[in-house]
A and B are shown apart, each in its own frame.
Chain A
């Protein structure tokens, strides 16, 4: 799934409600990029990235450029615009958090061509879709189940969470079905 989502030269959008697994999928993509020895950049609009949980997930933080935008949407978009024009990054991720923003169609097309020219994967995580027809793939994550653990009747530990994905838009063949996936807490 991570390889399909973080396709080089394409824009991919991951949308969903809070706790639906969007960020876990993003972190899994960052881990894959770092494990292959490449570098990634994360433009974090609301500064919600948690380095500790990312490190637990296997992300090599040395290969991650973290840009914290302090909740400023315009700054985040400008930062992404700069990063996708710098060849060499394997993945540029834009985490819009719960901000619902509108992206001018011209900017979306500019991003699309810049991403293609620099051969970088642009991953946009947010509540709703943003780039319209410029995205090659758009998927929605949904929470399915939560598993608790503990020795007694009252759980003492969050064990794992199951999420699923639904394809909203796929210009090429949609990714192989991955109906559900468990994420360990």
Chain B
């Protein structure tokens, strides 16, 4: 590919602040500082662009920063926010190219080889990367160049979203960039400053042997970077089996309604990541940090792969309603198992069935109402024991059945008594003559049945169909092991 640079770098400046903005998008327009507590003092870890315009810098104390910018909004540094944002950026890049490298917090290198046939020229690839980053809530810049270092420097030093360095022009393109973009060790940066080296071009112009002798491996590495050369091999990044989004809270949540609002925020971010990578989740792992110091963990199976917030939130909410956390919640973390869902289409002649997303939601609500054991499709068990059935999860077949074999003769249905009701039966000539207070008009039987005599659950009974004086047609059973009579059910 003669005309296409091979690497792109996606860079999110001031990443700790960007991670907070991702959790609270409303803070984007305000000066924001991220603080960490050290001893008795709060130190600025990072600040967004609006705060930096007001001379707020990392390393300041909270008081100093507030003095420079009275409207400064502060948030605590939460490691989970940064980790989640870092993974989100990696996954966004992964949706563009299968070969990416984790370059640290807020930096992702992308191998663009072959992408021009899919996406277009390097400018288009850069725009796609920036767009993907935006879908996961991060404002990024992209640089495209012949090496990762050149691409990173191009992205870091530019003021436009996408910068493309022409092939073979790396050194010239980087020459005017200040040395500060390389993030050199302070002693090395101080030495170079004493030498009067202020730009990458001046650094690249230094004799290589002399730099090696005087500055050692760190100097040689800086020299390579100034020339736009990569020092280390490309290390492809593989996504972890679970994707996690977390939200630390500065207050305790006691009600499920408020917890649902926080969960919606977390799930929105998670679904944004899934959607950006064209993936879906089939299992959610909810982990709630409690004020008591413990954890409340729930695993919510989604029944079908989904990446929509609304049904996920409904299922998680119903699960937490059935199994509420035992103490106030101080932290919310949601992990998703991402899978690639294959889209399906119903048959043209297939009768309409409930949409899976509607069905899953209504089944979850019904399960919360009546219990999971009381919900599903009945299936007959291979047994002669009366009323032998099992409940299966409701999953109607998607394939249409074979055509019916003509009209089936209408059959009489039985209404079962559960449990069978014990009745007093008067017997005349070995046939029932009276059931409780009702006299028997007619009866048929007995039908003898027994089973499991080889086990402790042995049963043996005589069944009678009995018409009573009040018009009821019922099935009676005499337990031959105990001699008791039971009303099994009513024909209706």
Interface set of A (CB-CB < 8 Å, partner B): 17-24, 26-28, 31, 35-39, 47-58, 60-70, 75, 78-79, 82-83, 85-90, 97, 143, 146, 148-150, 154-158, 160-161, 181-185
Q: Which residue of B lies closest to A34 (CB)?
A: B401
Is A67's CB under 8 angstroms from B375's CB?
yes
Residues from chain A with Cβ under 8 Å of B217 in the complex: none
User: Of the candidates B352, B410, B415, which one forms a contact with A28 in the assembled complex, judged by CB atoms under 8 Å apart?
Assistant: B410
Q: Output the least CB separation between B444 and chain A (Å).
A: 4
Interface membership of B176, Cβ < 8 A? no
Q: Output the least CB separation between A79 and chain B (Å).
A: 6
Do A61 and B377 contact each other (CB < 8 Å), given the known contacts A79-B370, A87-B354, A89-B354?
Answer: yes
Interface membership of B366, Cβ < 8 A? yes
Max count, chain A CB within 10 A of own CB: residue among B396, B408, B412, B416: B412
Residues from chain B with Cβ under 8 Å of A82 in the complex: 362, 365-366, 369
Which of B93-101, B321-329, B334-342, B464-472 forms part of the interface with chain A? B464-472
Bound-complex Cα distance A51 to B412 (A): 13
Bound-complex Cα distance A31 to B401 (A): 13
Do A19 and B359 contact each other (CB < 8 Å), given the known contacts A61-B377, A150-B444?
Answer: no
- For the A-B complex with A48-B415, A148-B442 known, give 13 more contacts whose Cβ atoms are closer than 8 Å: A24-B413, A24-B492, A27-B413, A49-B416, A50-B415, A58-B411, A63-B397, A66-B391, A86-B358, A87-B354, A87-B358, A88-B359, A158-B491
Is A61's CB under 8 angstroms from B471's CB?
no
Residues from chain A with Cβ under 8 Å of B418 in the complex: 47-48
Q: Output the least CB separation between B408 and chain A (Å).
A: 4
Do A88 and B355 contact each other (CB < 8 Å), given the known contacts A24-B411, A70-B370?
Answer: yes
Residues from chain A with Cβ under 8 Å of B376 in the complex: 65-66
Q: Output the least CB separation between A2 and chain B (Å).
A: 9
Bound-complex Cα distance A156 to B366 (A): 43
Which residues between 37 and 63 of chain B lie within 8 Å of chain A, taking CB atoms? none
Is B410's CB under 8 angstroms from A24's CB?
yes
Do A161 and B491 contact each other (CB < 8 Å), given the known contacts A64-B378, A156-B445?
Answer: yes
Do A83 and B397 contact each other (CB < 8 Å), given the known contacts A52-B387, A68-B375?
Answer: no
Bound-complex Cα distance A38 to B391 (A): 20
Is B374's CB under 8 angstroms from A155's CB?
no
Is A70's CB under 8 angstroms from B374's CB?
yes
Instruction: Determine the interface band of chain B, counting residues with CB < 8 A from chain A.
Output: 35 or more
User: Of the candidates A20, A39, A47, A160, which one forms a contact with B353 in the assembled complex, judged by CB atoms under 8 Å apart?
Assistant: A39
Bound-complex Cα distance A39 to B442 (A): 39
Residues from chain A with Cβ under 8 Å of B397 in the complex: 62-63
Q: Which residue of B lies closest to A83 (CB)?
A: B362
Bound-complex Cα distance A113 to B207 (A): 85
Q: Which 4 A-B pairs have the closest CB atoms?
A: A88-B354, A51-B378, A57-B411, A23-B492
Q: Which residue of A lies closest to B395 (CB)?
A: A62
Residues from chain B with Cβ under 8 Å of A181 in the complex: 410
Is A161's CB under 8 angstroms from B412's CB?
yes
Residues from chain A with Cβ under 8 Å of B242 in the complex: none
Is B377's CB under 8 angstroms from A62's CB?
yes
Bound-complex Cα distance A69 to B374 (A): 7
Is A37's CB under 8 angstroms from B401's CB?
yes
Q: Output the least CB separation between B21 and chain A (Å).
A: 39
Residues from chain B with Cβ under 8 Å of A87 in the complex: 352, 354-355, 358
Q: Output the least CB separation between A71 and chain B (Å).
A: 10
Bound-complex Cα distance A117 to B374 (A): 27
Do A86 and B354 contact each other (CB < 8 Å), given the known contacts A150-B444, A156-B445, A182-B410?
Answer: yes
Q: Which residue of A lies closest to B473 (CB)?
A: A19
Residues from chain B with Cβ under 8 Å of A26 in the complex: 413
Do A146 and B442 contact each other (CB < 8 Å), given the known contacts A52-B389, A67-B370, A70-B370?
Answer: yes
A-B contact pairs, 18 of them (CB 8 A): A18-B415, A19-B492, A21-B492, A37-B400, A38-B353, A48-B489, A51-B389, A63-B397, A64-B378, A66-B376, A67-B375, A83-B366, A86-B362, A149-B444, A161-B412, A181-B410, A184-B411, A185-B411
Q: Output the least CB separation between A95 and chain B (Å).
A: 9
Bound-complex Cα distance A50 to B380 (A): 10
Bound-complex Cα distance A156 to B462 (A): 12
